[in-house]
Structure 1
Amino acid sequence: MTRDRSFLRDNGLTLAFGAGFLLTLAGQAIAGHAEFNNRLIAEELHPLSFGGYLLTSDFAVDVTENWQSEYLQFFLYIFGTVWLLQRGSPESKELHKAGPESDEEQKVGEHARPESPRWAGVGGARQAWYSRSLGTLMCVLFLLSWFAQSVTGVAAYNEEHLRELQAPIGWFDYLGAADFWSRTLQNWQSELLAVGSMAIFSVYLRQRGSPESKPVGSAHGATGVEG
């Protein structure tokens, strides 16, 4: 196998989803541009170019409101599954492993191995941070994208109101507005539903060859077993 083929094989999941992300983002931009211009024409205003649309708050808020909900999903899932269990689900740890687990189980400190990440064995604050770095990053990305949604959202909200000759509102006022919470909660509820559904459906249903599923022949009650 050549080096290029080996790279593609070893990184196929990231590359495939990254490409899918770019394609769907482009599709969203094209569809959003058409919808935005339809609204402008209906209001007897001049339509925008595609490049101009990409710089609008209307496009930015649609993108960021989806990003924040996705990162919230992963943040809650990563931290929640430390303690929360689901009997029979491969999405759950084994029932006797609730909590952060021992240093030996996590291979940190004196139990770190030669191939372990360097900060797994250093102890102190660096090890404590690295032990929670994935969830911390998801939390930071969620907060940043939620903040971006609020900034772009108030700009889009005010642009629409100005076209209707209504007074704009400030950022703090927008945080309490129905528009902000409608955008936010419609995404949160769908993410929570998806995660909860995956946790319980994977107890009884199988997908051969997927690490998100138990082996086809595993008992329904087998927990923390991946195919």
Structure 2
Amino acid sequence: MSAAPETREGTAPIGRRVRLFLRHNSLGLFFVTAFLLALSGQAVAGHAEFNNQLVADGLEPIGFGAYLTTSDFGVDVMENWQSEYLQFFLYIFGTVYLLQRGSPESKELGRAGIESDQDQMVGEHAADDSPRWAAATGWRTAVYSRSLGLVMGTIFLLSFLAQSVTGVAAYNEQQLRQLQAPVSWSAYLSSADFWSRTLQNWQSELLAVASMAVLAIYLRQRGSPESKPVGASHSATGVEG
């Protein structure tokens, strides 16, 4: 009986299938679209600012396409990406063991830790529609059961590395304009410029996570899974609306 809606959806007219796809994937599509618009806006504004600086230094401005390949644009993008993925990496692993009484962002107070195989539907406790690696044993289950945090951590490390590489290139370009000696990559990693760029992003991301976890104890957003039900007690923990 449950397969009937899928059959009707699969044989529906193309227009209806497109509308269903957009509705069922609207959250991801919205944020991907917003990301692309914000990135495009950053590129346009950054190009204008970069050319203003070139003119102020007595140099010729460059085209938009050339700006997109510069280290200045690369470091501005990467320093934001690495802070975002650090936030998710810490949040994913932190919420395994750390609790916040009254917050829907926390697990229930008695469930700290990785939980049992039965709770996590792993191995012999996997359901018929569970991912294949959830039903496997050994290293596949160990990897898959931590795959979200591992991927987020990997993206963070790669974007952190990319930030350092593009950052030293942008820094040395500025050094040469000012007729100063360039620095090595290792020296740049210990420089004030690198850590100023990095920490100004980390502090904002960590503050945002802390605000979400704590404010959701007392405030509500009707209909959002990130909020408790409007009438839930302030002390209710791990309850989502």
Q: Which TM-score band (shorter chain)?
A: over 0.9
In structure 2, how many angstroms separate the alpha carbons of the residues matched to 1:10 and 1:126?
30
Opposite residue 113 of structure 1, the aligned amino acid is: A
Q: Distance in 2 between matches of 1:19 and 1:126?
A: 34
Q: Residue in 1 aligned with 2:51?
A: 37
Q: 1:60-99 alignment to 2 at 5 Å? A: 60-99=74-113
Question: What do residues 176-225 of structure 1 show as CA deviations (whole Å, max 9, x unaligned)?
Answer: 11111111111111111000010000000000000000000000000000
Say whether 1:103 aligns with 2:121.
no
Provide the C-alpha distance between the structure 1 equivalents of 2:66 and 2:139, rounded to a whole number of angstroms. 47
* Pairwise CA distance, 1:170: 0.7
Quote the sequence identity (%): 71
The residue aligned with 1:221 is 235
1:163 aligns with 2:177: yes
Which of 186, 189, 192 matches 1:175? 189
Residue identity matched to 2:135: G
SS at match of 2:164: helix
Task: Give the aligned length.
Answer: 227
User: Match for 2:206 among 173, 192, 198?
Assistant: 192
- 2:124 counterpart letter in structure 1: E
Alpha-carbon deviation of 1:44? 1.0
Q: Who is 2:158 aligned against?
A: 144
Aligned amino acid, residue 81 of structure 1: T
- Structure 1, unmatched stretches of 5+, are none
1:11 equivalent in structure 2: 25
Counterpart mapping for 1:107-146 below 5 A: 107-146=121-160
Matched residue SS, 1:158 = helix
Q: Aligned partners of 1:79, 1:186: CA distance in 2, in Å?
A: 22
- Counterpart of 1:139 in structure 2: which amino acid? G
Map of 2:7 onto structure 1: none
SS in 1 for 2:128: coil
1:108-153 C-alpha deviation (Å, 9 max, x unpaired):
0110000100000111000000000000000000000000000000
- Please, which runs of 5 or more residues in structure 2 have no aligned partner? 1-11
Question: Which stretches of structure 1, 4 residues or more, deviate above 3 A after TM superposition?
Answer: none
Q: TM-score, normalised by structure 1?
A: 0.99
CA distance in 2, matches of 1:200, 1:131: 27
> Aligned partners of 1:36 and 1:155: how far apart in 2?
15
> How many angstroms apart in 1 are the aligned matches of 2:64 and 2:180?
27
Cα drift, residue 41 of structure 1: 0.8
